[in-house]
Amino acid sequence: MQAAWLARGLDQAGGKLPLFDAEGRRVAEKTIRACIAAGWAEPWFSNPIKPDWLVCRLTEAGRAVASNALES
């Protein structure tokens, strides 16, 4: 799940990671926090309308993980 989420940021401006999955469900906070803890994603900015949402972007390490997942 983590690699798939990270891969969705590869073609986004600034490496922005999605808040919702392909079916429109919110990405689990556990997934987001695990990726941040691993150094694959980093918080980008606060959303003033939804302050509880973690808006993140890929780190260089996250780009490597996502790219490797696509190659496999």
Of residues 60, 20, 57, the one with CA closest to residue 42? 57
Q: What is the mean pLDDT of the chain?
A: 92
Does the pLDDT value for residue 68 go beyond 90? no
Asked whether 23 and 7 are in contact (CB, 8 A), the reply is: no
* Main-chain dihedrals φ then ψ at residue 48, nearest 5 degrees: -65, -25
Our CA angle for 8, 63, 70, nearest 5°, is 60
pLDDT tens by residue, 32-59: 999 999 999 999 988 888 888 889 999 9
Asked whether 34 and 40 are in contact (CB, 8 A), the reply is: no
Report the predicted TM-score, pTM, of the whole model to 2 decimal places: 0.89
Does the pLDDT value for residue 72 go beyond 80? no
